[in-house]
Chains A and B, each alone.
Chain A
Amino acid sequence: DSGVTQTPKHLITATGQRVTLRCSPRSGDLSVYWYQQSLDQGLQFLIQYYNGEERAKGNILERFSAQQFPDLHSELNLSSLELGDSALYFCASSVNPGDETQYFGPGTRLLVL
């Protein structure tokens, strides 16, 4: 157990819908990262937050947004969902934004029907 929690574990929804994925970092970690992993694909970096502020952006679609709250948990919002958005979404955390060691959560498996 890495100490990073993600909810829900599984999510099934329909095209066009909107969902929110939640992540709680390890105690003491200030930085949160979101990754998308499609079937048999690698890990695509989406976005990073540090202490409530956006720190870095990767291949995140405009339909997706995220934020980090004062208690340091983070939410990833996915809207106007498409079939291709079906994937595993991982959250990771680290102490500082430049800290190399990232600890991954168990992931949220999203299925868009």
Chain B
Amino acid sequence: GENVEQHPSTLSVQEGDSAVIKCTYSDSASNYFPWYKQELGKRPQLIIDIRSNVGEKKDQRIAVTLNKTAKHFSLHITETQPEDSAVYFCAASIITGRRALTFGSGTRLQVQP
């Protein structure tokens, strides 16, 4: 099965700095990589995703990059704000496959004002 490793487990940055979270996956057949944000006590919410036919995707202050050869993908948040503080989860799956999302262990991001 798929195994997704996520680093770092905690990340503290100053407001306005950039934050980068990295994930590696094991199954080369995986072709869909979403990122979820989970605030304390709330549901995970999809913030951005990328498919394997694309190397980078951007949405305002958030970007995701994918390196299929190395089997890793990263979340980049620029100009961080206190409301970015949350736990971020990466995940991997096979579109149309019989395998649901495999999540990483999460990164707790703390943005210091």
Contact = CB atoms under 8 A, between A and B. Distances in A.
Nearest to A42: B105
Given A42-B104, A55-B98, A56-B99, A90 B44 contact: yes
B42 interface: yes
A55 to B, nearest CB: 7
Interface in B58-113: 89, 93, 95-106
A101 interface: yes
The bracket for how many chain A residues form the interface is 20 to 34
B43 A33 contact: no
A95 to B, nearest CB: 12
Interface in A32-50: 33, 41-45, 48
| Interface residue SS majority, chain B | loop
Given A55-B98, A58-B100, A107 B89 contact: no
A48 B93 CA distance: 13
A105 interface: yes
Contacts of B102: 45
Interface string A88-113: 00100000011111111111000000
Interface of B: 32, 34, 36, 42-46, 49, 51, 89, 93, 95-106
Given A41-B105, A107-B43, 18 more contacts: A2-B43, A2-B45, A42-B89, A42-B103, A42-B104, A42-B105, A43-B101, A43-B103, A45-B100, A45-B101, A55-B98, A58-B100, A97-B98, A98-B95, A100-B95, A101-B49, A104-B43, A106-B42
The 5 residue pairs across chains A and B that have the minimum distance between CB atoms: A98-B96, A104-B43, A43-B103, A100-B32, A42-B105
